[in-house]
Amino acid sequence: MTPKKHLTPLLLTLLLLTLLAGPATSLAASPAMQPGPDSVDLEYFIGTADYPQHILLEWQSVSEQTVSAYRLLRGTTPNPSQAVVITAPVIPAHPGSTQGYYYAYPDSAGLVPGMVYYYWIEDQDLGGTWNTHWDDPNLNPIVPWGCSIYDVICNFVIDTQDVTALASRWNCALNQSCYDPHFDVNSDNVIDVRDVMLSAGRWGCGLGQTCYP
Ligand SMILES: [Ca+2]
C-alpha cells in the first residue's frame, strides 16, 4: 500500500550486506600477528622519553572482544622474566568491543638517568589469564633515559671529553659564573678533583652498560 512496505526488505538486505562487509574489511586491513587464541591483537606498543618528565608508553589495539585489562612491565635488561609490573591497579580494557582503542601511560616511577629501560605489555583475557607478547619486537620498546651524572657532556659515553670539560671548570664554585651543576658530579657545590675522579672512574662506560648510570 505505502512504499514503506516495499522498502523495508531492501533496507534490511542493505543493512545485512553492510554488516557482513564490515568485519571482512577490518580483517583484511589488520596487520599480520600471531598472538595466542585469547590474546588481543595490538597494532603497536611504543615508548618515548620526555626527559626529565616521564617515559610515555602508548599502545593501540585492533579489537578488544576477549581482553579485559592490560598491564605494563619494566626491566633494565632484555630478559622479560626480570621485569616487574609497573601498572597497579591494572588498566581496564573494553571487553566485548570489536573496536580498537588507544591507550597512553606516563611512567616516571624511580627512573634513573643513564639507564636503558625495556618495556613489555600483557593483556588479560576473559578467563583471567595474562597473555604475554614477548616474542614481538614491535611490542617491546627499549627507551634510554637521560645521561649518567658521570657523563657530564652527555654524549652517552664517559671518556676524555668529560674529564677535559671538568678540568675547564676547575675550582668553579656555586655562585660563580663558571659553575654549572651538570659538572658538579658529587653535588658538593664545587667542581674539583673529586668530580674528575668520579667521572674518570667510569672511563669507557657507555649507554646500556651497567657501569654507565
Ligand atoms: Ca663536586
For residue 165, report the distance from its CA to the centre of ligand 1, in Å: 13
pLDDT: which is higher, 134 or 90: 90
For residue 7, report the distance from its CA to the centre of ligand 1, in Å: 84
Residue 18 pLDDT exceeds 80: no
- Residue 40 has a pLDDT of 83
CA dihedral sign, ordered 50, 133, 138, 23: negative
* Mean pLDDT of all residues in 92-117: 96
For residue 23, report the distance from its CA to the centre of ligand 1, in Å: 64
Residue 95 pLDDT exceeds 70: yes
Same fold, 42-145 and 149-213: yes
Residue with cell 601498572: 87
CATH class of the structural domain 149-213: mainly beta
CB under 8 Å, gap of 24 or more: what pairs does 75-83 form?
A: 75/117, 75/118, 75/119, 75/120, 76/115, 76/116, 76/117, 76/118, 77/118, 78/118, 78/142, 80/118, 80/120, 80/132, 80/134, 80/140, 83/118, 83/119, 83/120
* pTM for the structure as a whole: 0.74
For residue 172, report the distance from its CA to the centre of ligand 1, in Å: 9
pLDDT digits (tens, 9 = 90+) for 109-129: 999 999 999 999 999 999 999
For residue 52, report the distance from its CA to the centre of ligand 1, in Å: 22
For residue 55, report the distance from its CA to the centre of ligand 1, in Å: 29
Q: How many CB atoms lie within 10 A of CB 90?
A: 16
For residue 147, report the distance from its CA to the centre of ligand 1, in Å: 17
For residue 189, report the distance from its CA to the centre of ligand 1, in Å: 6
For residue 181, report the distance from its CA to the centre of ligand 1, in Å: 9
Cis omega (within 30 of 0) for bond into 35? no
- Residue 38 has a pLDDT of 61
**Sheet (strand 102-107) strand order:** 42-50, 54-61, 102-107
Instruction: Give residue 28's pLDDT band: very low, low, confident or very high (50, 70, 90).
Output: very low
pLDDT: which is higher, 146 or 13: 146
For residue 109, report the distance from its CA to the centre of ligand 1, in Å: 27
- Residue 14 has a pLDDT of 43
Instruction: Give residue 34's pLDDT band: very low, low, confident or very high (50, 70, 90).
Output: very low
For the chain, give the mean pLDDT: 86
Query: What are the residue boundaries of the structural domains of the chain, listed by start?
Result: 42-145, 149-213
pLDDT digits (tens, 9 = 90+) for 45-76: 999 999 999 999 999 999 999 999 999 999 99
- Residue 27 has a pLDDT of 39
For residue 169, report the distance from its CA to the centre of ligand 1, in Å: 11
Instruction: Look up the CATH architecture of domain 42-145.
Output: Sandwich (2.60)
For residue 38, report the distance from its CA to the centre of ligand 1, in Å: 56
